Amino acid sequence: MARAGEDIATAPIDLAIARIRAIYRGWNRDTTVTQMRSDWDSAFGGTTVPVTCERVSADAVAGEWISPAHPPPDKAVLYFHGGGFRIGSVSSHRDLIARIALASGCRVLGINYRLAPEHRFPAALDDALAAYDSMLRQGLKPTNIAFAGDSAGGNLALAAMLALRERGLELPVSAALMSPWADLAATGVSYVDRADADPIHQRPMILALAKNYLGEQGDPRQPLASPLYADLGGLPPLLIQVGDREIVRDDSVVLADKARAAGVEVDLQVWDGMIHVFQMFAEIPDAHQAIASIAGFLSRHLHLKGEKASS
């Protein structure tokens, strides 16, 4: 979905890549996970759009309502941030969440689920389910709630829906996923054939993050840890966005194929020249187009009025 004639070598995406690499250069084997989390939050904190932010506790899970002006009170998005289940927070993803909220006209609850290695699987999943339950107990209906998430957060959105289905509980109306990390075993062809194209991630790093999340004896093919290995039947409509340069591209492509085969409505968007969760970077024009597409998807399924055209 890159624009015709765009020179990838001089595109704004290079600025985004430089921002990420600058953080990674400051880390070494002695850098604590606390410092990594602080660095990541500092690098990506703040918002570039007008929203209100209200800190809350969603059934003992710390979160933040991020709202545009005059959102419908009976509709909401539950957002799960990325970061490999090791780093990331609402703070680091506040701008991305805010731009989705503004573009869709819907308020979004982002949560700070527990992270590994202090809290391994299924702690994050338990927190996701608790936050959803809290929204229901506040009076929101499943048909008026959508899930959204990026990377590990995309994994968590899928896993939470699978867990709800297993328990016979009502699922959210839809889910928007950005570069979902759905295969912790990292088996996709893209882990090899996109290794040279991906400027950020490589397979050994992905496998290390999986072990950090699951523990030494954890099974990376356990369906609630790796939704790619689950029976996907019964899931609500999915929007899946992924960059073509990502080693985790096939997590999205294979997931979409399996979901469609199970009867799930899927809109898969593979964005030419884009990197992992490119939507985070306001300097990338494609990010604005992608968020506008997410807003349209959310608006259709949540029946929002006054759908916005851009982020």
pLDDT tens-digit readout, 169-210: 999 999 999 999 999 999 999 999 999 999 999 999 999 999
Catalytic-labelled residue, pool 67, 91, 92, 151: 151
The reply to whether 310 belongs to the active site is: no
Alpha-carbon gap, residue 183 to 180, rounded angstroms: 9
Alpha-carbon gap, residue 131 to 128, rounded angstroms: 5
- Given pLDDT bands bounded at 50, 70 and 90, which one contains residue 5? very low
Q: Is it the case that residue 305 has pLDDT exceeding 90?
A: no
- Given pLDDT bands bounded at 50, 70 and 90, which one contains residue 58? confident
- Given pLDDT bands bounded at 50, 70 and 90, which one contains residue 10? low
pLDDT of residue 59: 85
Q: Is it the case that residue 2 has pLDDT exceeding 90?
A: no
Alpha-carbon gap, residue 20 to 199, rounded angstroms: 10
pLDDT tens-digit readout, 33-49: 999 999 999 999 888 89
pLDDT tens-digit readout, 73-105: 999 999 999 999 999 999 999 999 999 999 999
Q: Which of 3-12, 76-85, 257-266 has the lowest mean pLDDT?
A: 3-12
pLDDT tens-digit readout, 19-37: 999 999 999 999 999 999 9
Helices marked H in the chain — which ranges?
13-25, 33-44, 90-104, 123-137, 152-166, 190-193, 203-214, 249-261, 285-302
Percent of the chain with pLDDT over 70: 95
pLDDT of residue 198: 97
Selection from 262, 243, 263 nearest residue 253 by Cα: 243
- The full set of domain ranges for the chain reads 17-302
- Given pLDDT bands bounded at 50, 70 and 90, which one contains residue 4? very low
Q: Is it the case that residue 6 has pLDDT exceeding 80?
A: no
CATH topology of domain 17-302: Rossmann fold (3.40.50)
pLDDT of residue 306: 52
Alpha-carbon gap, residue 34 to 87, rounded angstroms: 9
- Given pLDDT bands bounded at 50, 70 and 90, which one contains residue 309? very low
Hey, what are 303's tokens? 């029946």
Mean pLDDT of the chain: 94
